Amino acid sequence: MALKFTDENFQSEVLESDIPVLVDFYADWCGPCKMMSPVIEELAGEYEGTVKVGKLNVDEQPSTAQKYRVMSIPTMLVIKNGQPVETIVGAVSKSSIVEKLDAHK
């Protein structure tokens, strides 16, 4: 199951993580975000223990979204060693996300 990231836990859960993290910036009203939700959940299960996978609601947690200049959603960031290493914008195929995750494991 995908983790729930917040402005409060972002530092400890994402930036200080020992393994790469996929952060899905989304909103409940966003159609493409809803399309990506099952893919994010699948990835969370498939990468358990090697990549942390979670979601951050931009309406509820605006400061983290602003810090990473998330202008459109869904936006997914791959963060490794506290730094963004990949940005994926829009509804994309699962295989394109897997390709980017595998490059940073």
Which residues are tagged catalytic? 30, 33
Distance (Å, rounded) from C-alpha 2 to C-alpha 40? 7
- Rounded to whole angstroms, what are the CA distances from 104 to 10, 43, 77? 19, 15, 12
Angle at which helices 31-46 and 94-102 pack, to 10 degrees? 50
- The DSSP string of 8-19 is TTHIIIIIT-SS
Tokens found for residue 86: 């990949």
For 69, which DSSP code?
A: T
